Structure 1
Amino acid sequence: MKITDSQLYKYVPKAEKLWLSWLPTDEEIPEHIFSKRFERKMKRLIRNQRRTPRIRKIFLTAKRITAAVLVLTMLSFSGLMTVEAYREKFIEMITEVMDDLTHFKIFSSWNESIRMGEIIFGYLPEGMSEVERMCDEETQGQIIYFEDLDGKQLRIDIQLVTEETDYEIILDTELVDSTKV
């Protein structure tokens, strides 16, 4: 079946009247209430569109410059406040990595009198149990030895790092089995 232009001109107005008769009247349609946020955005958009494009570009550039200055000011201020005030409080570490060993040197400029707290391990390798614990009151250090049933040993050396003390350790990358020594 082929629809011609004359048929369309004849039947479309009837279909339009039929379709419109099914729609509710204007009184039956509830009025939409827009959110406050939407209303603010629309007012801002209308106010912005009243300005000329040149003025809008000037406002946008001014906003960007203000934001950049604010970010730079905040970064400068926070950098100045944190570097000197907190730099001395943190532990500094120098690491040298060679082919067969790693050398750690840990030091701090902490000069307040503090004591080392109790050391409790949340995890140890399976079968390991504490064999010996040696405490040094002068350096506030501890050496804790663990051993499993196969004779494998684990040594943990802990030392409080302050202004008076520093700590150095050299780790050999070759694994040594204590049962073969």
Structure 2
Amino acid sequence: MARGKTLTCALALSTVLAAQPALAGGWKTVAEVGRAGLVAAAFGGAAVQEDWNGVLQAAYSVGITAGATYGLKELFPEDRPNGRGDDSFPSGHASISFASAAFLHQRYGWQYGLPAYVVATTVGVARVESDHHHWYDVVAGAALGTATAFLFSTKYDDKVQLFPWGDTKGGGLAMNVKF
């Protein structure tokens, strides 16, 4: 239970940190800090709980989301509302933020997912308010990130754990099952 409280504190801290820059640096900074806070909460929360399978699932969720996002940007170039580039669709900030939030939701439950979705939504609003994206860029990024996380994340079970390993001859995963 103490580890769950640690994850809650990490998520709360990332939420507070995401809100603070709005006072000083504007919407662009809110999006940057919010996205970074959510990624840190996803990876850090799993690591603090020694949930190495969760770390791998977060890596798959965020990594594949990032790859798909940047692939779509190349396939469907669209001008940004501020006129600075043609890589508006989909929003990378939104896709990464929602992948992190959906991972937290899928892996650890709504108690962690709900505040994470609030932060991710704030990131999306910030990207529209700062004229970096159209609303539909953010919606597409949110859908992509959420779908990817739900595809690669499972509910946390401390009775079954996977551990990555590697040496000079190869690598793989080892499984530990508690009875």
TM-score, normalised to structure 2, is 0.20
Rg (Cα) greater in structure? 1
- Higher RCO (Cα < 8 Å, 6 or more apart): 2
